[in-house]
Amino acid sequence: MKKLVAALSVVLLGTLTIDWFAGEATTAIPAIETTKVDEGDKLKCTGKHKRFVLDDKVDWGLTGKIFDTVIPCLEGGFSQEIVINSPGGSPTTAHGVYEALRIADTQNRLTTTVYGNSHSAAVYVFLAGATRNISCSSTMQIHPVTLRVVASSNDRTELNSFPERWEKTEERSINILAHRTKLTKDEVRELKLGHRLLTAEDALGHGIATEIIGC
């Protein structure tokens, strides 16, 4: 009988001990919260949220928008699409956005699609895509970069440094185009100087686009 009581006591103590430490089951809460966060990220990166629309000028504000939406999703392994219908804008901003997207898209999950126009600086955002679609009637225009300079009679520093800054920006745009297309650097320079409006067929032929859609 004493042995039975002792055994029951051990069992009860064991049960109490288990019940006591069951309070530490709260350590499982972070795992549950992490699952919810991951699910939230999925909701932010799928469905209608997997598509970012660039339908305005390429300006400074675009960088923040891309970093708030597209880049975290690419880094999380989610496919993303940037839809473009833009007259262009700042080449330096476009180059920075291009570079950020290429760094983030390690799994080639980014698609860029033109519906309408992808002119000037917008072309470099387009070139960030691993898959680059252009609709049948869309157009592109590539030309030498345009930069703004602000100078005064009291301070000509920016004016004096402008030629060098322009040359570096232009060379960067040429390098991006030559790297992402079938064009050589000399062919890019010639294309830029022509200021020619490119059709979807032109863009595909030059390797700027990888596919024509909607025909």
Residues of the chain with pLDDT > 70, as a percent, come to 76
Domain ranges of the chain: 52-144+155-213
Q: Is 43 exposed, middle or buried (0-12, 13-18, 19+ CB in 10 A)?
A: exposed
Per-residue confidence (pLDDT) for residue 138, from 0 to 100: 98
CATH 3.40.50.2300 fits 52-144+155-213, yes or no: no
Pairing of strands 197-198, 139-141: antiparallel
CA 161, 166, 171: angle at the middle one, nearest 5? 135
8 A C-beta contact, residue 139 and residue 158: no
- Quote the Cα angle for 182-187-189, to 5°: 125
Q: What is the pLDDT of residue 41?
A: 63
Mean pLDDT of 195-209: 96
pTM: 0.77
